[in-house]
Structure 1
Amino acid sequence: MFDGNWRSAVNRGLDPIGAVLCRLGVSADGVTSFGVAMAAVAAVVIGRGQLILGLIFLILAGLSDALDGPIAKASGTSSVRGAFFDSVSDRVCDALLFGGLAWYLGSTEPGHIFMLPLALMGVASLVSYQRAKAESLGLDAKGGLMERAERFIVLGAGLAFSFVLIPVLWAMLGLTAATALQRFAKVWRQADTMHSV
């Protein structure tokens, strides 16, 4: 949803910041790497039960993810390699954050609720895979109710208000699964149209 409706406007707002950081000698790959490091720290502090501190590092990871593109654009270093590095880094960050949540829930909640973040990680990975595979076939799988930006925002709300964290994760799982179904149907229709031509 964010990709379709707000991405271009946000990028325009971040372009001047990217230009300033570029002039200061900050590289896009460096910012991407910093974002992964922040996600790793967030995972550890969340796992240890420091959810507000985890939220701060989550925000830093999200800002890094938002700024690497504008920096690459300002420096003229946008490339296929950079896009690949950014995409792989996104998956690493997701795995770290969901792993930290599983660690936290496994330490604080009874039963098997720690599996909830792992289920969410699996469905989120499917959403990302659908887009990557569709684009490799010349199709479009963007869009959906719960893309990566939305997951960051909703997870941040869950960390800020820990008493709703588990309901928030359930809601994320349902909406992310709905996004996977939306993307599947979208690509299926496109592929069917191409087959019919």
Structure 2
Amino acid sequence: MFDARLRPLIDPPLARLATPLVRRGITATQVTLAGFALGALACLAIALGAFWIGLVLIALNRLADGLDGAIARQTERTDRGGYLDIVLDFFFYGGVPLAFALADPASNALAGSVLLASFYANGSAFLAFAIMAEKRGLSTDAQGQKSLFYLTGIAEGAETIALFGLMCVFPAAFPALAWGFAAVCFVSAGARAVLSARLLS
């Protein structure tokens, strides 16, 4: 919901950070893979109960996720890069709830499972429309220049990262946060499905 509004604010500083990396020959794919490694470490830290370390690593993962796109825009955007970016993002998004479930299975497993199911529903509605949009030659730059069609929704990246941050700061509140955000994601998935059906009719 807020991603498109945040884009004009975060793109210029990301572009400035990307410029010296481009000069050093660092590629967007390298940053994507490094960011995923940071995200995987964040999940490991959370699973082990080191929530503040997890929070820092999540922030670094998201910085890398913004930088890889900025580097690609200054060099060359590729299908492989776009594919890795979105797939590894989904791996990361799924890994965080799983990590909280592993940290405290008795308290978090059910809520984490429902949250993961809501991510699955929201992600499938998003990605399926992107495939159909590509077939029809549809495009949008509402979320900036992307490798695939980003259909807006109630629950997007900014909201999800804010949620993960709250979970790391208040780990005991994970069940309530997970149930609440799962409800938002299911509504977002439903809205995306209805909008997609209308756009494709």
TM tier relative to shorter chain: 0.7 to 0.9
- CA distance in 1 between partners of 2:18 and 2:89 (Å): 19
Match of 1:87 in 2: 86
Deviation at 1:121, TM superposition (A): 3.6
2:151 match: secondary structure: coil
Instruction: Determine if contact 2:97/2:112 at 8 Å carries over to the other structure.
Output: no
**After superposition, what is the alpha-carbon deviation per residue over 1:113-140, rounded to whole angstroms, capped at 9, x for unaligned?**
4423432442343244244334334356
Query: CA 1:101–1:124 in structure 2 vs 1: closer, same or farther (change >3 Å)?
Result: farther
Alignment of 1:109-148 (within 5 A): 109=107, 112-138=110-136, 139=138, 142-148=151-157
Query: CA 1:113–1:184 in structure 2 vs 1: closer, same or farther (change >3 Å)?
Result: closer
Q: 2:163 aligns with which of 154, 168, 174?
A: 154
Query: CA 1:124–1:190 in structure 2 vs 1: closer, same or farther (change >3 Å)?
Result: closer
- CA distance in 2 between partners of 1:110 and 1:170 (Å): 10
Match of 2:189 in 1: 180
- CA distance in 1 between partners of 2:150 and 2:196 (Å): 6
Give yes or no for the alignment of 1:14 onto 2:23: no
2:152 match: secondary structure: coil
Deviation at 1:181, TM superposition (A): 1.3
**After superposition, what is the alpha-carbon deviation per residue over 1:96-122, rounded to whole angstroms, capped at 9, x for unaligned?**
22321221231x527744423432442
Give yes or no for the alignment of 1:165 onto 2:190: no
The amino acid of 2:81's aligned partner reads G
Deviation at 1:45, TM superposition (A): 1.1
- CA distance in 1 between partners of 2:115 and 2:191 (Å): 21
8-17 or 137-146: bigger deviation: 137-146
Unpaired stretches in structure 2, ≥5 consecutive residues: 139-148
Aligned length: 190
TM-score, normalised with respect to structure 2:
0.83
Query: CA 1:191–1:125 in structure 2 vs 1: closer, same or farther (change >3 Å)?
Result: closer
Match of 2:76 in 1: 77
Instruction: Determine if contact 1:155/1:168 at 8 Å carries over to the other structure.
Output: no
The amino acid of 2:3's aligned partner reads D
Unpaired stretches in structure 1, ≥5 consecutive residues: 193-197
The amino acid of 1:129's aligned partner reads L
- CA distance in 1 between partners of 2:165 and 2:108 (Å): 23
Deviation at 1:157, TM superposition (A): 1.6
21-30 or 134-143: bigger deviation: 134-143
Deviation at 1:163, TM superposition (A): 3.4
The amino acid of 1:41's aligned partner reads L
- CA distance in 2 between partners of 1:117 and 1:46 (Å): 16
Query: CA 1:64–1:102 in structure 2 vs 1: closer, same or farther (change >3 Å)?
Result: same
